[in-house]
Amino acid sequence: MYKCSLERMSDKIKTFSKFGDAGHGGITRYSLSPEAIMARNEFIKRMTAIGAKIECDDVANLYATIEGSDPTAKRIVMGSHCDSVKNGGNYDGILGVMSAMEVLETVVAENIPHKHPLTAMIWTNEEGSLYPPAMMCSGIVCYDYLPEDIRQKFKYEDMMNSKSILDPTQTFGMALEKSGFKGDKKFRLSPDRYQYMFETHIEQGPILEDNNKEIGVVDCVLGMFNYRLKFYGQTTHAGTFPMPKRKDAFFAASEALVYLHTEIDKLVEKLGVPELVYTTGEVVCHPCVHTCVPDFFEFSFDSRHEKPEVLEQVLAIVKSCADKTWNGCKCEVVKAWNRDTVYWDKKLVSYVKAAAEETGVSHQYIHSGAGHDAQFCAYVIPTTMIFVQSKDGLSHCEPEYSKPEHCTDGATVMLNAVLKADAE
């Protein structure tokens, strides 16, 4: 049983928080931006210092590897991403990179015997904040192994042509060329060179904190569906059109949203599934002028649960919106995408659980509600994840926080789980 260093981990957290510091405790660090390149250079500097070999694949995924005692053994890789959303926090993504670095640093500092080469890695553009979509470069690397309906969203050419949301004259491909991190395709993570993948990440929810657990032993990424509800009304002038003749698409959508909450809450009660989540985060309103009745309103509907049979019943309620007229407006329910629950490798999950028990780190099983690069990787090689407690469950915002002690314990659990995998 080995332990990672609180001092070394705290130093990394402090150092990486500078790269893209947005002045209010958090960061803005878009993928391949100058700030992200500073973080990558820091990673290379520290990994080179412990004797790791640096490789970079053709979409800038960055790998630092220390050799093991068995020259025929495949690599065990740990990692996450170093890019953030706009005004994000200091932990989402980068914690998984720092934890991987910490594991390698501990192995070298304590001279821990291991057969397999151990790799710390950075995935490029997980957030997709500047160049959509999210999980772009794990999508590219794992492309051949992904289910058809997911795969089609990650075509290499499309990804290279993804436009910057800030400047449509710039593409991801252009940023990649300029970054200095475009390496060789032969270095891509692949099953012939890699054995297992571990990703440590902040929980991004309040469950571990509420249950007073440091670490989550993640067993799956929840299945989900994403639909759009569209309401079609008639625009008229705010001052001249009598109320009873109006077809107000925003009011229609509001009535439908209240209906959805009412009906889904009843279903949750009936099925006893309080863990079900659903979110209506994105809206479109047209013409969106204070003197016009909206003739169009749209909102996204995202729902997540482990069991497909639960999601099916939620979807039936969502679809029932299209059977009614809302304030004179027609409603259309359109599928955006869905994904099945991705279960982590059972053996690796058991290693994480055993490592947490042996190191005395408080823990519980947990599902991942969010998507991560690891979930694409799971189609390629056996993969699992470790969650670290989030303060107030907040993420993708500047108050995002995890205690350095918890971060260090997360790395300790990953180290010991990796050593179990190594010892097979």
- Using CB under 8 A as the criterion, which residues of the chain lie in contact with its own copies when the complex forms? 203-207, 222, 224, 226, 234-245, 248, 250-251, 253-255, 257-258, 261, 268, 274-283, 285, 287-294, 299-300, 302, 304, 336, 368-371, 393-397
H helices of 167-324, where?
A: 172-179, 207-210, 249-271, 308-320
Tokens of 136: 């772009």
Please count the other Cβ atoms lying within 10 Å of the Cβ belonging to residue 244: 6
User: What distance in Å separates the CA atoms of residue 372 and residue 244, rounded to the nearest whole number?
Assistant: 48
Angle between helices 404-422 and 346-359 (to 10 degrees): 120
Distance of closest approach, residue 310 Cβ to its own copies, in angstroms:
14
SS3 call for 237: strand
Distance of closest approach, residue 296 Cβ to its own copies, in angstroms:
12
Q: Which is nearer to its own copies, 74 or 286 (CB)?
A: 286
CA-based nearest residue to 254, from 320, 312, 321: 321
User: What distance in Å separates the CA atoms of residue 203 and residue 281, rounded to the nearest whole number?
Assistant: 20
Q: C-alpha angle 143/147/149, rounded to 5°?
A: 100
SS3 call for 83: coil
Distance of closest approach, residue 341 Cβ to its own copies, in angstroms:
12
Distance of closest approach, residue 291 Cβ to its own copies, in angstroms:
6
User: What distance in Å separates the CA atoms of residue 375 and residue 339, rounded to the nearest whole number?
Assistant: 11
Secondary element (H or E) of residue 352: helix 346-359
Q: Which is nearer to its own copies, 68 or 233 (CB)?
A: 233
Distance of closest approach, residue 388 Cβ to its own copies, in angstroms:
13
Q: Which is nearer to its own copies, 207 or 377 (CB)?
A: 207
Q: Which is nearer to its own copies, 15 or 279 (CB)?
A: 279
Rg (CA), the chain: 23
Q: Which is nearer to its own copies, 71 or 274 (CB)?
A: 274
Number of residues assigned to the chain = 424
Distance of closest approach, residue 143 Cβ to its own copies, in angstroms:
22
Q: Which is nearer to its own copies, 23 or 281 (CB)?
A: 281
Distance of closest approach, residue 185 Cβ to its own copies, in angstroms:
30
Q: Which is nearer to its own copies, 195 or 236 (CB)?
A: 236
Q: Which is nearer to its own copies, 160 or 285 (CB)?
A: 285
Distance of closest approach, residue 255 Cβ to its own copies, in angstroms:
6
CA-based nearest residue to 386, from 358, 360, 356, 359: 356
- Collect all residues with Cβ–Cβ distance below 8 Å to 111 and sequence separation of at least 6: none
Please count the other Cβ atoms lying within 10 Å of the Cβ belonging to residue 34: 11
Distance of closest approach, residue 164 Cβ to its own copies, in angstroms:
17
Q: Which is nearer to its own copies, 37 or 94 (CB)?
A: 94
Q: Are 55 and 65 in contact (CB under 8 A)?
A: yes
